[in-house]
Amino acid sequence: MVRACESAGLAWLDTYGIAVPQCVVVTRDTNLDGLYIPFEAPYIVKPDVAIGGKGQRGLVHRCDDEHARNDAITELFTHTFNGQPLQHVIIEQLMVGDEYFLAVAIDEQHRKPVLRLAATGGVGFDATNTQVCEASLIDGLNDTALTHAIINAGFPAEAINPIGRIARQMWDAFVASEAVLIEINPLKWDGETGTAVGIACEFDSRSLPSVDQHRPSLETSLAATLGRTATVREEAVKAADAREADRPGMTFFELDGDIAFVVAGGGAALFTFDVLHDYGLTPACYTDYSPGGGLDKLTALFTAALEIPNIRGVFVGVAVLNVMDTQYFADALITALATTGVDPTVIPIVARIAGPSETVTLERLRAIDGLHVLGREETLEYAGSVLLAELSTMGA
Amino acid sequence: MMTSSISALLSDPAGVVIQGITGRQGQMETRWMLDSGTTIAAGVTPGKGGQQIHRVPVYDTVSEAIARHGCRSTMIYAPRHRAANAAIEAIHAGVKLAVISAEDVPAHDLLRLIDNAQRYDALVVGPNSQGLLVPGVGRIGAPGGTDVNERFSAGHVAVVSRSGGMTGEIGHLLHQWGFGTSVQIHLGGAVMPLMTLREGVLLAERETSTTITVVFGEPSSTQEDMLARAMRNGETRHPIVAMIAGRFSDTFPAMLPFGHAPRASGDSATNVAAKMAVLADAGAAIAHNFTELREHVARLTAAHADRVAP
């Protein structure tokens, strides 16, 4: 899923006819003393990032004058987000009124899009405490059901029609952009108009590129996914994945352990990770390679895992494959060993590989001095115990 | 709700239709399905009607293929941005079971497909499903690859899994341990799959040979919670052994993308420990590893020996 930062989300809502406050975005280089703001104080100052809970974290400041505003901006620029210094701060026009909550999202339990509405909202609001209105991408938004939900949510009579209009505008945005979530919290109601003051929005990264024209600009950096600055190895895997975007993807991120870990398949990776943890081994990375991703991606994955500094062991796991030729794993591992110079006689490597061409693959890998190679007759669990034993032997 | 079992659909003389049969994967897996005993009545690839693949006639549209052959099941190899529409066309033409191979099918496409499946009383498995297998009867999709008979044997243990690799691994291990498989269903790893764990278990229990169901779950999604509720409500009939992988991930921030699908931040239902606890409370035997899985299956097999068909 990909998200938009606050200023992009608000500008995007504006294009669908939803009222938003005036705002100005400043960067670290902006000269605050000469800054022109086209609206009067008080101001709301907050980080312009694609994360929720800014109010709860004390990152949203009400500033009654220019001096307080500039102090708040300067203070916010001392913060880091996802491991990186904050780059943008948003200065927003203060809106006064009651706070409401409106969202449209894909709901796993209902297995439908749902609208959630509440005549309360703001910082710390519990989104499960809302009126729910189911919708359908075939039939659209049912006007009667929506009106009932608005009434049941307890909105004042004069707000019923305006809230209904905003809900329909959100629905239009949701459908056109193939959104996963559009959440307005709070929507400020001044007795006549509802203004979206806070927005969180997420979009499906699997949609066709043609949908992008209906979306705000999105935060797609690895740092946004990992919550920290990506390493060069993580960036290299991401680049390799992007080079063949039409093939099944892969996941790679580093952790603080010392066992390089390459496993095919999401479920097998989770299971094997548990096995290593149960043996007291701490992986240096998490990987998930979808069979069918091709040799170049797999080689990039192996190379990145073996290049992690200070690894003391390597675990390669392949649950019994149906389609993919296991020789790809031999090719990728052999190339990565040559590229990185990792010596299996010094750093123990255990590979459990099963599937098409298994016999040939195991023979090729067993020819490498120091490599411990297991086939389908041994489990992933047993392979973990072999690595543990090898590490113990070396340690002794 | 459709009442056929997988084995009944696989045994249907009308056979299975393969959408996307002329592509590399479609051709290869069609060969495997034919070799394992599945009747493949027709294939579909727009613009390639009139061809034959492994002597299977190819049609331009799925409605044409189904009108001609009366198939009730389809395996879909259409690419991810066409897969949902291919399934919807098949459902509108009368198909009652569709399996989607493509991964990364857009979420809005899936929502439209779920809506259509509900309206037309059809079951859809996937996306990113390797398929379904009933050893000795046949398969839809790739389970077992080229050596299906060496990896699986007919028996009483159903396997319903969110992971493709682990579906095959567990079926293979059951065979090694001397237990056979009644049916194997790979649901696909999406947070909101077209068939949930609960629906998969209920479908697996329609096989008369099933007496135990092994489920493999993961972090993300509330499917395990929904299955536990079904167990408590008496919807399931047979003992369940649950293996939920990713225990370690509970200790990491939710934003890190462990497994097939993202975990919801702050949602305790997607926490692996919570999933295991709720399933255990509902009566499932929890397996933390293969050793425990084998012990549970052996114990339950002995305890329910009277139910195992000869």
Which of residues 128 through 157 in chain A touch B, CB cutoff 8 A? 136-138
Q: Which of A114-123, A269-278, A349-358, B265-274 has the lowest average pLDDT?
A: B265-274
Per-residue confidence (pLDDT) for residue B307, from 0 to 100: 65
User: Chain-wide mean pLDDT for chain A?
Assistant: 93
Per-residue confidence (pLDDT) for residue A50, from 0 to 100: 87
Tell me how far apart the alpha carbons of residues A103 and A118 are, in angstroms, rounded to a whole number.
Answer: 9
Per-residue confidence (pLDDT) for residue B252, from 0 to 100: 82
Tell me how far apart the alpha carbons of residues A74 and A66 are, in angstroms, rounded to a whole number.
Answer: 12
Rounded to an integer, the average pLDDT of B201-211 is: 96
Per-residue confidence (pLDDT) for residue B189, from 0 to 100: 84
Q: Quickly state the pLDDT bin for B261 (edges 50, 70, 90).
A: low
Per-residue confidence (pLDDT) for residue B221, from 0 to 100: 87
Rounded to an integer, the average pLDDT of B272-286 is: 96
User: Chain-wide mean pLDDT for chain B?
Assistant: 92
Complex ipTM > 0.90: yes
What are the residues facing A188 on neighbouring strands? A99, A195
Q: What is the pLDDT of residues A318-364, one digit of tens each?
A: 998 888 899 999 999 999 999 999 999 999 999 999 999 999 999 99
Residue B247 has pLDDT above 60, yes or no: yes
Tokens of A380: 């992933």
Chain B within 8 Å of A265 (Cβ-Cβ)? yes
Residue B2 has pLDDT above 60, yes or no: no
> Which residues on A lie below 8 Å from B112 (Cβ)?
137-138
Per-residue confidence (pLDDT) for residue B262, from 0 to 100: 62
> Quick one: which of B244, B219, B249, B240 has its CA closest to B285?
B240
Chain B within 8 Å of A175 (Cβ-Cβ)? yes
Q: What is the pLDDT of residues B48-63, one digit of tens each?
A: 999 999 999 999 999 9
Tell me how far apart the alpha carbons of residues B308 and B174 are, in angstroms, rounded to a whole number.
Answer: 15
Q: What is the pLDDT of residues A238-273, one digit of tens each?
A: 999 999 988 888 889 999 999 999 998 889 999 999
Tell me how far apart the alpha carbons of residues A38 and A25 are, in angstroms, rounded to a whole number.
Answer: 12
Name the H helices within A36-87.
Answer: 66-76
Considering the entire predicted model, what is its pTM? 0.92
Q: What is the pLDDT of residues B144-183, one digit of tens each?
A: 888 888 889 999 999 999 999 999 999 999 999 999 999 9
Q: What is the pLDDT of residues A365-388, one digit of tens each?
A: 999 999 999 999 999 999 999 999
Per-residue confidence (pLDDT) for residue B269, from 0 to 100: 59
- Provide the residue type at B1 as one letter: M
> Which residues on B lie below 8 Å from A207 (Cβ)?
106, 108
CA distance B59 to chain A (A): 26
What is the percent of chain A where pLDDT is above 70?
99
Per-residue confidence (pLDDT) for residue A246, from 0 to 100: 82
Per-residue confidence (pLDDT) for residue A84, from 0 to 100: 83
Q: Quickly state the pLDDT bin for B70 (edges 50, 70, 90).
A: very high
Who among A137, A226, A356 is closest to B145 (CB)?
Answer: A356
Residue B309 has pLDDT above 80, yes or no: no
> Which residues on B lie below 8 Å from A288 (Cβ)?
259-260
Residue pair A236/A304 in contact (Cβ under 8 Å)? The answer is yes
Q: What is the pLDDT of residues A180-237, one digit of tens each?
A: 999 999 999 999 999 999 999 999 989 999 999 999 988 777 887 787 889 999 999 9
Residue B69 annotated in active site: no
Q: Quickly state the pLDDT bin for B264 (edges 50, 70, 90).
A: low
Tokens of A328: 């790809």
Count Cβ atoms within 10 A of the Cβ of residue B196 and give its class: 0-12 exposed, 13-18 middle, 19 or more buried.
buried
Q: Quickly state the pLDDT bin for A129 (edges 50, 70, 90).
A: confident
Per-residue confidence (pLDDT) for residue B192, from 0 to 100: 85
CA distance B63 to chain A (A): 21
Residue B289 has pLDDT above 60, yes or no: yes
CA distance B60 to chain A (A): 24
Q: Quickly state the pLDDT bin for B308 (edges 50, 70, 90).
A: low
Per-residue confidence (pLDDT) for residue B3, from 0 to 100: 63
Name the H helices within chain A.
Answer: 6-15, 66-76, 143-152, 160-177, 222-226, 232-243, 266-278, 295-307, 327-340, 358-366, 380-395
Q: Quickly state the pLDDT bin for A10 (edges 50, 70, 90).
A: very high
The residue annotated as part of the active site, out of B175, B260, B288, B296, is B260
